[in-house]
Amino acid sequence: MITPKRLFEVTDHQLQHFPKETMLAAKENGQWHSYSTQYVQQTALQLSAGLLSLGLSGNDFTPEGSDKVAIISNNRPEWIITDLAVQQTGAILVPLYPTTNPLEIEFILNDSKVTTLFISSVDLLEKIKFIQPNVPTLKNIFTFNKIEGARHWSELLIKDDAALQRAQTIRAQIPATHLATIIYTSGTTGTPKGVMLSHTNIYSNVMFSKESFPFEDAPHTKVLSFLPLNHIFEKTVTYIYLYSGISIYYAESLETIGDNLKEVQPDGFTTVPRLLEKVFEKIMHTGNQLTGIKRWLFFWAVSLGTQYDNRINKGFWYNTQLAIANRLIFNKWRAALGGNVQYIVTGGAACQVKLLRIFNAAKIPVYEGYGPTENSPVICVNRKAAGGMKFGTVGPPINGIEVKLADDGEILVTGPCVMVGYYKRPDLTAEAVIDGWLHTGDIGVWEDGTFLKITDRKKELFKTSGGKYVAPQPIENKLKENAFIEQVLVVGPERKFVGALIVPSFSTLQSWMKENNIPFTTNQQAIENPKVLEHYNKIIDKYNQLFNHVEQIKKFRLLPVEWSIETGEMTPKMSLRRKIIMEKYAADIEKIYAENNN
């Protein structure tokens, strides 16, 4: 049994067990700058004193009675320092994605009654100024970047002994049952819901995950952080790192990850499948540019990788070939990731089994895990220990929690990690948590009695007009294994057959068109080319053989533009927003089902 603690006690833990010169690090003016454990703890306390001087407090340590502080920023040391400082006052942190649209920001700030806001950049400041008149509770705005006319966060750093002592006294009084954060889940549809997570919720998940993976105490190792810190996956993993003594380096942006990996040479990082797909696509694009023996060797190595299975010894000849492939080809892949990666943990969506096979064959260990915000979040993760990983599953449940499947296959979980509830929504809380069991909305099956496999979202199952149920995710995940398919959405609720919207991998398609002497001018021209359409028909026909008749894709539409967070088709954690895509591409869907297409 784990004794509950407050998350901010992590600085005490580090100072006692492994005080670090580089607890956190970020690139500033072209140079990596380190923040020591001592500095982070002192600065967080000074900021706590400053926040208390504004009148912020936990008051009666209830969700409604505590003040709310929001943060909208890229990943950086100031994010963590602010998180620790807010926790120590008893106020509650409400983090938002920098990419959140103004209307959603306005809803969240009003719903939670935020009084103080920390932001990073000029662009975000302009976004907030636009909605500020509609948020009556918002009194204070501070910036991490120095912006003319704005209040810099350093103004709040108070060094007065009496103020610091008051902050220490309040810090000591905060119960572990108090909320550490309210995280609004954007989800794929509907109004955002505020998930209330206590210190106990997150701390227990941190310790269970640390024990299960395991993340050993490793004060001489480092990680690169680039997934948004306001997402519970990266937030919880951050505290796993900090309680393990692992130094955290913050990537400058998603665009600089490749350069930052080479500079930092991290021992690990967390990611989402979409970013892994992007990495693989870039690798394959490089391979397609090769000629002669180099090209043959590259695709020979990739082919070996697709056959890899960590649970089956394929014998001397296969192992010998794979060893050669690792020396000649895959060593370059490892070097591109910094050369030291011992683990990559991926979550947030299903990862293609093909990618898991290839990366693990290349000695780039990728471990898939799973869990919703409502469980703080980790429920399962594949293990580093022998026999602890199975491709295509999210691994065994972590220690300390219970997991079971309902009669309809829905994944249920209970334990200290389950959320306090949805903020101001007891009705939704009662639907989600029944007799202590969180109903995740995900459908799963057990493999080998140990490994959990996610098969679909309960609400995403749909019925054709013939009354047959179809689960879209397994079809989509299988199709995305093809190099020519970048993104895909299966459609067909209340329709005669299953169709699909497909975004091609245009780099792969362009190379293929060049090889086949088909001129490429624009994406739109390419997807209208009869030879291209014929090629995709062959791809779909091949994959249809893997599915039941009712699941087979009869018609599809190729689309010229990739779906993204910025254009609204993907959530900030890079999951598809099905409802929005289906609304936005309603005309294309109708063309799939037009009579002359049948």
Q: Which residue has the higher pLDDT, 572 or 137?
A: 137
Q: What is the DSSP letter of 459?
A: G
Residue 2, SS3 per DSSP: coil
CA geometry: angle at 225 spanning 222 and 226, to 5°?
Answer: 155
Q: Could you identify the residue written with the tokens 């950049």? A: 121
* Residue range 478-487: mean pLDDT, rounded: 94
Q: What percent of the chain has pLDDT over 90?
A: 85
Q: Are strands 485-491 and 498-504 parallel, antiparallel or unpaired?
A: antiparallel
191 vs 154: which has the higher pLDDT: 154
Bridge-based pairing of strands 421-422 and 193-198 is: antiparallel
d(CA 22, CA 222): 9
The number of angstroms, rounded, from the C-alpha of 110 to the middle of its chain's C-alpha atoms is: 26
Does the structure show a pLDDT above 90 at 572?
no
Q: Is the pLDDT of residue 597 over 70?
A: no
Q: If you average pLDDT over residues 13-41, what whole number do you get?
A: 97
Residue 341: predicted pLDDT: 97
Cβ atoms of 543 and 479 within 8 Å: the answer is: yes
Q: Give the CATH superfamily of 7-174+213-250.
A: ANL, N-terminal domain (3.40.50.12780)
Q: For residue 214, give the amino acid letter.
A: P
Structure tokens at 184: 């609004």
Average pLDDT over every residue of 410-428: 97
What is the share, in percent, of the chain residues with pLDDT greater than 70? Answer: 98
pLDDT at 140 over 90: yes
* pLDDT at residue 312 greater than cutoff 60: yes
Give which of 171, 125, 126, 131 is closest to 144, Cα–Cα. Answer: 125
Band the pLDDT of 470: cuts 50, 70, 90.
Answer: confident
CATH of domain 270-458: 3.40.50.12780
**Per-residue confidence (pLDDT) for residue 594, from 0 to 100:** 87
Helices (H), 146-250: 161-173, 199-212, 232-243
Asked if 382 and 388 count as a contact pair (C-beta separation under 8 A), the reply is yes
pLDDT value at 198 more than 90: yes
Locate CATH 3.40.50.12780 in the chain. Answer: 7-174+213-250, 270-458
Residue 1, Cβ density class (10 Å: 0-12 exposed, 13-18 middle, ≥19 buried): exposed
| Lowest-confidence region among 179-183, 271-275, 314-318, 436-440 | 271-275
Q: Quick: pLDDT tens for 46-72.
A: 999 999 999 998 888 999 999 999 999
Summarize the confidence of residues 524-533 as an average pLDDT. 96
Residues of the chain with CATH 3.30.300.30: 461-597
Q: What is the pTM of this model?
A: 0.88
> Please, what sign has the CA dihedral across residues 336, 337, 339, 342?
negative
Separation CA 119–CA 69 (nearest Å): 11
Average pLDDT across the chain, whole number? 94
Cβ-in-10-Å burial (0-12, 13-18, 19+) of 18 comes to middle
CATH class of 461-597: alpha beta
Instruction: Give 332-352 as a 3 state SS string.
Output: HHHHHCCCCCCEEEECCCCCC
pLDDT at 79: 98
Segment 162-189 mean pLDDT:
90
* pLDDT band of 598, cuts 50, 70, 90: very low
- pLDDT the model gives residue 494: 84
**How large is the greatest C-alpha to C-alpha distance in the chain, in angstroms?**
79
Top-confidence residue, 473 or 422: 422
Residue 190 has pLDDT above 70, yes or no: no
- C-alpha span between 335 and 346 (Å, rounded): 20
Among 367, 593, 398, residue whose Cα is nearest residue 491: 593
Length of the chain: 598
- pLDDT number for residue 305: 98
Give CA–CA dist 57/531, Å, rounded: 66
Mean of pLDDT values over 306-325: 97
DSSP classification of residue 398: P
User: CA 155, CA 140: separation in Å to the nearest integer?
Assistant: 12
pLDDT (0 to 100) of residue 186: 67
Determine which of 23-37, 156-170, 183-197, 409-423 has the lowest per-residue pLDDT on average.
183-197
